[in-house]
Chains A and B, each alone.
Chain A
């Protein structure tokens, strides 16, 4: 019935939703090109007088954004990668390897989701420091490596897999290890994509833990480095700060937009089976 009428209400609502999401990001981008006087002007000035990169230069001069980026990349790739592998292995064991007390081990994994990071942060700091892992990649990565959320989603998904395929594989002499990587994993790509996105986003944006274990600029990740730009004893230089914020958010936004089809499919697939 409504097929031939233009759904104006729908478009207006859509436009508002998109504007609310985009405007703050646009505001950040514009501010990153403004000088101090353009930012602190009344009435507010929407467009910068020029799109020069002075603030970006200032941000890059103040802190080593190149190494922040590299560190974020390394901790994200290894942190998220290993976490996914651990989650897959654990979920497989919980579903397909028959041992008593599996429910108990599943509970052990799930229960960890309820433990807030802040509650374990002091003991973990002491532990990491005593291992000599401060200012190291393993210091950032290892304490957060265990997979609880991923294991949960993988397990839910594995339970829905056709058992006949795996039984056939077992009859062909494929061991658990082969069954996992050659049969189960290929049948689970959407869920893996979902868990991967959540893990990558979490690792990339992790703040409090790396803030504590890293104190050398050459080992800092992007969110920690960003806060170094906040001047403590002066006028907040929004232009430079926003330039830094753009540098932190842009890479993950690009990854997101490039891979959006896969990510959206994966995110949703993961959740619906959950």
Chain B
């Protein structure tokens, strides 16, 4: 009895040691560079602290109330919501349509698949710079194409709404191929006999798509909705390279506001407060997403 208990305890200790050896470094790194700074950031959010200063003043929750009562806040939240919904929702719809197209047996479909994903691997800064030039209303390619069909170029850089549309387009251009590729894999994983069965039952293509294909793509949709939501809410490089949040703050998302308040205005405490709020929102949205998906999607 005692010897088995000792042995079990010994095995447990060995397992713990093994666990620590394997998972320990990663977990310690996460603690040192993610969780600890996260807590520090919570603390900073209660300070009036100009970045670079060795002095700070404790202000309690003033940074939070300031943000919540700032007349610009509804606008920034609106921009964030539009940008996120358009890039996540639009990205999924476009990506799925593209995937259906790429799933057809056409000639040259292989190279086409590769080309469509290519922008995903490019640097956000490089993408922003190159589209800055593409969208130039006088010397850019978009204006030239629109001019060809007799349309004037929208004021991409002077109209806050068009500017937002512009950065959404660029974000979509960069990521839609990746979404399509993941959906394509999901489509190809659907057993052929299921589709044949549906077709034998007399279901048309639209019905098959809605009743058979879409539900089977559930796990893929969930995976994509989580990853693209996280990357959209944290999107920074493209906005920084193209509009720097302007004109008239038309492209200032919460993420960009955090950067600008913290590093351009130097208000580290205020910036940390906005970051904390964004973090909490992100947390809630993801949890809701998981709940929702858990109920809706049954995993195979």
- Which A residues lie at the B interface, using CB under 8 A? 7, 10-11, 13-14, 17-18, 20-25, 27-28, 31, 39-44, 86-87, 89-90, 92-94, 97-99, 105, 108-109, 112-124, 127, 142-148, 151, 176, 180, 197, 201, 204-205, 207-208, 222-223, 226-227, 230, 238, 241-242, 245, 248-249, 252-253, 255-257, 260, 264, 267-269, 271-272, 274
| Chain B nearest Cβ from A97, distance in angstroms | 5
Q: Does B76 have its Cβ within 8 Å of any Cβ on chain A?
A: no
Instruction: Determine whether B234 belongs to the interface, using a CB cutoff of 8 Å to chain A.
Output: yes
Q: Which of A89, A118, A204 has the most CB of B within 10 A?
A: A118
Partner of B34, one of A146, A176, A226, A252: A146
- Please give the distance in Å from A105's CB to the nearest CB on chain B: 6
Minimal beta-carbon separation of B190 from chain A (angstroms): 10
Given A97-B22, A222-B123, A118 contacting B255 (CB threshold 8 A)? yes
Distance in angstroms between the alpha carbons of A135 and B40 in the assembled complex:
24
Instruction: Report whether A245 and B130 are in contact in the complex, using a CB–CB cutoff of 8 Å.
Output: yes
Q: How far is the CA of A145 from the CA of B30 in the complex (A)?
A: 9
Tell me whether A86 and B26 are in contact (CB under 8 A). Answer: yes
Inside 8 A of B189's CB, which chain A residues have their CB?
Answer: 272
Q: Say whether A264 contacts B237, CB under 8 Å.
A: no
Contact indicator A205/B15 (Cβ below 8 Å): no
Show 9 residue pairs from A and B whose CB-CB distance is below 8 angstroms, ordered by the A residue.
A14-B101, A14-B112, A18-B115, A23-B141, A90-B23, A94-B23, A114-B230, A118-B255, A272-B220
Query: Could you tell me the distance in whole angstroms from the C-beta of A20 to the nearest C-beta in chain B?
Result: 7
Which residues does B use to contact A, with CB under 8 Å? 12, 15-16, 18-19, 22-23, 25-27, 29-30, 32-38, 40-41, 44, 51, 98, 101-102, 104, 106, 108-109, 112-126, 129-131, 133-134, 138-141, 143-144, 147, 173, 177-178, 181-182, 184-186, 188-189, 219-220, 223-224, 230, 233-234, 236-237, 240-241, 255, 258-259, 262, 268, 271-272, 275-276, 278-279, 282-283, 286
Which chain B residues lie closer than 8 Å to A22 at the CB level?
115
* Most chain A CB atoms below 10 A, which of B34, B116, B133, B189: B34
Contacts of B16 in A (CB 8 A): 99
Which residue from A98, A122, A255, A271 sits with its C-beta under 8 Å from B51? Answer: A122
How long is the Cα–Cα vector from A218 to B148 in the complex, in angstroms? 45
Enumerate chain B residues within 8 angstroms of A18, measured Cβ to Cβ: 112, 115-116
* Complex Cα gap A66–B104 (Å): 43
**A230–B126 alpha-carbon span in the complex (Å):** 12
Min CB distance B277 to A, Å, is 10
Q: Top 7 closest A-B pairs, CB basis?
A: A268-B185, A123-B37, A120-B37, A93-B22, A146-B29, A205-B123, A119-B275
A113: nearest residue on chain B (CB-CB)? Answer: B230
Chain A residues closer than 8 Å to B15, beta-carbon distance: 97-99
Report how far A94 CA is from B139 CA in the complex, Å: 55
Given contacts A119-B38, A271-B182, contact A226 B272 (CB under 8 A): no
Q: Which residues of the partner chain A approach B19 to less than 8 Å between Cβ atoms? A: 93, 97, 99
Q: Are B173 and A201 in contact, with the CB atoms below 8 A? A: no
Beta-carbon contact of B133 and A249 below 8 Å: no
Write out the residue numbers on chain A whose beta carbons fall within 8 Å of the beta carbon of B138. Answer: 42
Q: Contact check, B23 vs A89: say whether CB atoms are below 8 A apart.
A: yes
Expressed in whole angstroms, the minimum distance between the Cβ of A152 and any Cβ of chain B is 10
Contacts of B109 in A (CB 8 A): 14
Q: How far is the CA of A99 from the CA of B24 in the complex (A)?
A: 13
Q: Are B121 and A10 in contact (CB under 8 A)?
A: no
Determine the chain B residues whose CB is within 8 A of the CB of A120 once the complex forms. 33-34, 37-38, 41
A residues within 8 A CB of B101? 10, 13-14, 17
| CB atoms of A256 and B220 under 8 A apart | no
Known: A10-B104, A87-B26, A93-B22. A242 touches B121 (CB 8 A): no
Contacts of A90 in B (CB 8 A): 22-23, 26-27
